[in-house]
Each structure stands twice: as structure tokens, then as C-alpha cells.
Amino acid sequence: MPEAGDRRRRIGQFPAIVLGHPMRVAITGAAGFIGSALVDRMLCDCHQVLAVDNLSSGHVENLRTSANDSRLTFLETDIVSKRAHREIVSFRPEVCFHLAAHMDVRHSVVDPIKDARTNVIGSLSVLESARLAAARKIVFTSSGGTIYGNQDRFPIGEATPVDPHSPYAASKISGEVYLTVFRHIYGLQTTALALGNVYGPRQDPHGETGVISIFASALLEGRSAAIFGTGDDTRDYVYIDDVVDALALAAGQTGNGLRLNIGTGRETSVRMLHQILAEVVERPDTPTFLPPRPGELHRVALDSTAAARVLGWRPRTDLPEGIARTVAWLRNATTHGQPARIARRVAVPAETVGGTRSGVASSPTSGTAQ
Ligand SMILES: NC(=O)c1ccc[n+]([C@@H]2O[C@H](COP(=O)([O-])OP(=O)(O)OC[C@H]3O[C@@H](n4cnc5c(N)ncnc54)[C@H](O)[C@@H]3O)[C@@H](O)[C@H]2O)c1
């Protein structure tokens, strides 16, 4: 019997570009910012996709590009549910990309139990499904921006001991540890990608994370964005297309048992980021400063030479180009002066992609880097 709130839809037709042998892949968090870009890429590469998402922070509209592809099946359910488990097992994916997560450092400090339910129990559930489906590999999105804590030497390599400052960081490390366990016991191939601060089109400008979209959206709307702390904190910003490349490469045979950092190695301060964005959107550079938030780190820059060596991955998009593309997308998504906020409220025919969830609230905005 289907569980309440669960829906399963077959959706669409997408022009195919053949890259590698066609596989069956399961993607959790598929309606999110990164997950939906990965869905598009996997379909482009001729793979068959089971997309799983409970739409808690993702939006079914993000899957619109692929909505007519018959190789895409969308399953609206929680990764912890029996239904998700059953459907992943019966789909028998060769590769599971596990991206579903409650992704918010600040909320993880306020409610660590909720964070752990999705990020720890959820990851374990997906691993169990992958094992029983006899999947070859699981690719997990860890967090290079949080797991290493505050370090003295930059860029940070994978050999640096982890030092979590938030329950979110702890949950990502826990996910990595469970990958190791499943590799040892069951021979499941595993690769964890420790991502920097990912940015680009489709990142929710009204969410709690994704400072580039949040700042750009506030500037486009003529609002003042909030910087938490002095603005001197730095992050390593990596563009969405480069991250999707890394995920696709990680699905291959290489990188088994490894955590690989995915970043540019370059630091940009939050204050500098606001200044760059204000110039691009031609608005005054006048952010509001608020007290720092618990769990946030001071500096992040990731050394990705291992990803270059093992996967052949390198970031191809520099910050000015990535920002230009992101701002162009936000401008394009603007309807009556409301960037992207409107887009996610547009009703999608239920028979096509399962419809929109009612009650998806817009955050009142403003935020800083995670
Ligand atoms: N965006 C970044 O800068 C960044 C950095 C490091 C790591 N990551 C990781 O990458 C992954 C994707 O991040 P994102 O930026 O696309 O975030 P996102 O919030 O856009 O996507 C997460 C998706 O997971 C779904 N989800 C959450 N809980 C779920 C559950 N219990 N069952 C089913 N679906 C659930 C959400 O609805 C959402 O669509 C996450 O694991 C995140 O921790 C992201």
C-alpha cells in the first residue's frame, strides 16, 4: 500500500547525448538545487533515473526541464520511508547518488535531532536500499565547507582531521563513516564528495543557504541583505555545472573508498562577495551587519588536487562567470519584480509531475554563507 503523501510519476522526453554506457541511477534529493541539475545531466547522458525527494526544501518545478523524459521516474517520499526503500530496491540502480539532506547549519544547531533523522538515519536508509538493490556504487555529497572546522593551513586537503562545529557537519561525517562500514561489510563501492559552497541557477534565493543567490536576489529586489559577523569570513565557491561534472565522474570505477574535496581552492570573503554582486546588479553596496551565527566557520578553501588526480576533475567556471550566469538566471526568473519566488508557486499540472506542494513557505530572506 502506498504511504500517505507518496506519489510516483513517470515524466518526460529529453534530447539524449550518449556519454558512457546507459545505467539505472537513483538520485535522492532530486528536486533540490544540485539534485535536479544532476537529474538533467544523467538523462542527457542516456541513463534511466529514479528521482526521490520529499519536497521539504526542493521544488518539483526544478525537474521541469526533464519533465517529458520517459526515462525519469519521480517518487515523492521521504528517504526514511518504507516506500522509498521498496522502490529503490525494486528499481535496482547500478549507482545511487545520495544528495537528500536537511542542509542548514543554523537549524541543525537549533534542532540536532531533526538534522540527524534525515542526515544520519536517512543516509543509513539509503545505504541499506543500495545494498539490497545490489548497487555497484553510492556517491555521497559531504560538506567540505563544514567538516574540517577552523584550520590554520589552506587550502585544506582530505588528510586534514575532521573537526565538526555543528550537528550538520557531524551528520555529514557520520554519513561518510557509514559508507566505510558498507564498503567493508558488503563491498559496496563508495565515494564521498566534500563540496565547497555550491552556487548557480536554481539555488533557492529565499532559502537559508546559498549566499550568492540570497545576496543577488536581495540586491535585485532593492532590499538590504544581511551579513552575519564582520563579513571577513571566507568560503570556497564552486559552480553547479562543475559539481555535476564531479558527481558524474564519481559514478565510475575510480575513487572507491575516498573522500574527495570539490572546490576551487580560492577564498572569497562574504563582504567581497556582496561588493562583487552589487557591482554586477548595479545596486548600492550597503549590506546590514548582524551578530555571527553559531556553528559557522571563519575560513574555507579546499584543495581539490586529489579529485584532479583520481577523477580528472577540475573546476572550469571562475567566480565572475558563474556569478554572471547566476544573476542572468535570477533576472530571467523574475516575474513582476519577484526573482524565482514566483516560479516555485506556479502550479504544475498534477498529471505531469505530481503538482506543487502547498504550504511551501518562503523564508523572509537574508543570510550569509554556510
Ligand atoms: N549547496 C551547497 O553549497 C552544498 C555544500 C556541501 C554539501 N552539499 C550537500 O549537497 C546535497 C544537496 O544540496 P542542495 O544544495 O541541492 O540542497 P537542497 O536543499 O536544494 O536539496 C536537498 C534536497 O533533499 C530533499 N530532502 C531533504 N530531506 C529529505 C528526506 N528526508 N527525504 C527525501 N528528500 C529529502 C529536499 O526536498 C531537497 O530537494 C545535500 O546533501 C547537501 O548537504 C551542498
Residue 9 has what pLDDT? 45
| Cα 203-204-209 angle, rounded to 5 deg | 90
CB atoms within 10 A of CB 54: 23
Residue 11 has what pLDDT? 41
Give the residue among 160, 217, 245, 256 at the shortest CA–CA distance from 335.
Answer: 217
What separation in Å is there between the alpha carbon of 354 and the centre of ligand 1? Answer: 20
pLDDT in tens, 278-303: 999 999 999 999 999 988 899 999 99
- Give the span between the Cα atoms of 53 and 43, in whole angstroms: 17
Whether 141 contacts 34, CB under 8 Å = yes
Which residues 6+ apart lie within 8 Å of 212 measured at CB?
A: 199, 203, 237, 273, 277, 323, 326
User: Measuring CA to CA, how many Å separate 298 from each of 66, 271, 353, 370?
Assistant: 38, 13, 41, 10
Whether 38 contacts 63, CB under 8 Å = no
The one-letter amino acid at 68: N
- Give the span between the Cα atoms of 360 and 231, in whole angstroms: 30
Residue 368 has what pLDDT? 35
Residue 295 has what pLDDT? 85
- Give the span between the Cα atoms of 165 and 85, in whole angstroms: 31
The one-letter amino acid at 235: R
pLDDT in tens, 307-328: 999 999 999 999 999 999 999 9
User: Measuring CA to CA, how many Å separate 13 from each of 48, 239, 286, 352?
Assistant: 11, 26, 45, 12
Pocket of ligand 1 (CB under 6 A): 28-29, 31-35, 52-58, 78-80, 99-103, 118, 122, 141, 143, 145, 195, 197-198
**What atom of ligand 1 comes closest to residue 198's alpha carbon?**
3
What separation in Å is there between the alpha carbon of 199 and the centre of ligand 1? Answer: 13
Residue 78 has what pLDDT? 98
Which residues are tagged catalytic? 168
Q: Which residues of the chain carry a pLDDT beneath 50?
A: 1-19, 336-370
- Give the span between the Cα atoms of 157 and 261, in whole angstroms: 7
3-state SS, residue 352: helix
Residue among 103, 123, 142, 193 to mutate when testing ligand 1 (max atoms within 8 A of CB)? 103
The residue extents of the domains of the chain are 2-352
CA 337 to mean position of chain CA atoms: 26
Whether 7 contacts 76, CB under 8 Å = yes
pTM above 0.85, yes or no: yes
Residue 335 has what pLDDT? 53
What CATH number belongs to 2-352?
A: 3.40.50.720
What separation in Å is there between the alpha carbon of 235 and the centre of ligand 1? Answer: 19
What separation in Å is there between the alpha carbon of 282 and the centre of ligand 1? Answer: 31
**What atom of ligand 1 comes closest to residue 238's alpha carbon?**
3
Residue 268 has what pLDDT? 98
